[in-house]
């Protein structure tokens, strides 16, 4: 018996990178999965239902929730993964619209989708939500301050939602990846490297000797949505090869 047999899952941003690895891992454990991105590409894992939506807007979140409920009738697992960062030379050079964009993508998208899909979990007294934050939160590097601030807010909110939903048997946790080899991660690090000013990047390997693979993160997500973690809620699991000292 695969451990997610009969479960219905939504994973945002599953067309590549960490989200695609999560989709593959959940499918392999027998879950039905619906995923989403702004456009469908050949890299959406086979076997997953797909809806095109931009989760930065309320309408986008609504479209994902409606598609999920139409496809499955109800949702047992929600992985709020879609996200990403764009570096600027200095924290004070980040324009207002970029702050809003990052808050919408990395913080409010999960808040909105949770508001649409967790009431059903609460009513059925069962469900698991995972928020993908970032191991970079405690570092708060100035070129990414809008991103890390949004991801920090996500963790804080994650803890509060966990407390609200715990009496109903719904668990909410965060996973914070370190430097992980994904198209988005690589593109962001290249942009950072080409910035002429601002703090430099740390290019040393994490203590465990390599960067993360999307599958490393997917394994942590699988644990947190499975019954193996049935007494775990309100936590943040940092998966970063030991790179960051706090987290």
| Binding flag, residue 114, ligand NDP (CB under 6 A) | no
Q: Which is nearer to ligand NDP, 105 or 130 (CB)?
A: 105
> Is there a contact between 236 and 133 (Cβ–Cβ < 8 Å)?
yes
Interacting span for ligand NDP (CB under 6 A) from 1-9, 15-23, 122-130, 200-208:
15-23
Q: Which of 48, 51, 113, 132 is in the footprint of ligand NDP by CB under 6 A? A: 132
Which residues 137-156 are close enough to bind ligand NDP by CB under 6 A? Answer: none
> In this chain, which stretch among 77-85, 86-94, 114-122, 200-208 interacts with ligand NDP, using CB under 6 A?
77-85
- Nearest-angstrom CA–CA distance, 20 and 41: 11
- Chain residue whose CB lies nearest ligand NDP: 184
Tell me, rounded to whole angstroms, the distance of Cα 25 from its chain centroid.
15
Stretch near ligand NDP under the rule CB under 6 A, chosen from 2-10, 33-41, 137-145, 219-227 = 33-41
Q: Which residues of 203-213 are buried (b: 16+ CB within 10 A; e: fewer)?
A: eeebeeeebbe
| Beta carbon nearer to ligand NDP, 89 or 183 | 183
CA 65 to each of CA 53, 189, 222, 235: distance values in angstroms, whole numbers, following the listed order? 10, 32, 21, 25
Q: Do you know the residue count of the chain?
A: 247
- What is the C-alpha radius of gyration for the chain, rounded to an integer number of angstroms? 17
Question: Which residues are bridge partners to 58 per DSSP?
Answer: none
Pairing verdict, β 127-132 and 170-177: parallel
| H or E element in which residue 110 lies | helix 109-124
Is 107 an active-site residue? no
* Residue 40 DSSP one-character state: -
List the interface residues with ligand NDP, window 170-189 (CB under 6 A): 177, 179-180, 182-185
Q: Which is nearer to ligand NDP, 18 or 145 (CB)?
A: 18
Q: Does 55 bind ligand NDP (CB under 6 A)?
A: yes
Selected binder of ligand NDP within 4, 23, 31, 134 (CB under 6 A): 134
List residues near ligand NDP by CB under 6 A. Answer: 12-19, 36-39, 54-56, 81-84, 105, 132, 134, 177, 179-180, 182-185
- Active-site annotation, residues: 147
């Amino acid at each position: 018996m695969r451990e997610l047999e009969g479960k219905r899952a939504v994973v945002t941003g599953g067309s590549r990178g960490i989200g695609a690895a999560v989709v593959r891992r959940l499918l392999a454990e027998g879950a039905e999965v619906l995923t989403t991105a702004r456009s469908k590409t050949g890299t959406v894992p086979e076997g997953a239902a797909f809806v095109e939506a931009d989760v930065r807007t309320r309408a986008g979140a609504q479209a994902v929730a409606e598609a999920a409920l139409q496809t499955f009738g109800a949702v047992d697992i929600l992985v709020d993964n879609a996200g990403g960062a764009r570096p600027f030379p200095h924290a004070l050079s980040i324009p207002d619209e970029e702050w809003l964009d990052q808050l919408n993508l990395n913080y409010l998208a999960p808040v909105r989708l949770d508001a649409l899909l967790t009431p059903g979990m609460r009513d059925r007294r069962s469900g698991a939500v995972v928020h993908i934050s970032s191991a970079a939160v405690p570092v708060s590097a100035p070129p990414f301050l809008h991103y890390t601030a949004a991801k920090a807010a996500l963790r804080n909110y994650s803890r509060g939602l966990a407390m609200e939903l715990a009496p109903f048997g719904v668990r909410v946790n965060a996973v914070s990846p370190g430097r992980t080899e994904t198209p988005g991660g690589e593109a962001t690090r290249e942009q950072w490297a080409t910035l002429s000013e601002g703090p430099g990047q740390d290019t040393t390997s994490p203590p465990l000797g390599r960067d993360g693979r999307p599958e490393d993160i997917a394994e942590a997500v699988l644990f947190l949505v499975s019954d193996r973690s049935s007494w775990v809620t309100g936590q943040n699991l940092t998966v970063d090869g030991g790179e960051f000292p706090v987290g």
